Amino acid sequence: MRAQLRRLLYSPSFEPFSIKLVNGDRWDIFDPHTVSLEGREVFIAAHDQNWVVFPINKINSVESLIADYQGQVDAHRPPG
DSSP letters along 6-49, please?
HHHHH-TT---EEEEETTS-EEEES-GGGEEEETTEEEEE-TTS
| Residue boundaries of the structural domains of the chain | 2-76
Q: Are 17 and 62 in contact (CB under 8 A)?
A: yes
* Interval 40-79: pLDDT, tens: 999 999 777 788 999 999 999 999 888 655 555 555 555 5
Report pLDDT for 39: 93
CA-CA distance, 52 to 26, in Å (whole number)?
Answer: 11
Radius of gyration of the chain (CA): 12
- Asked if pLDDT for residue 33 goes beyond 60, the answer is yes
* CATH placement of domain 2-76: 2.30.30.100
Closest-CA residue to 26 (of 66, 51, 59): 59
> Percent of the chain scored above 90 by pLDDT?
62
pTM: 0.77
- Asked if pLDDT for residue 28 goes beyond 80, the answer is yes
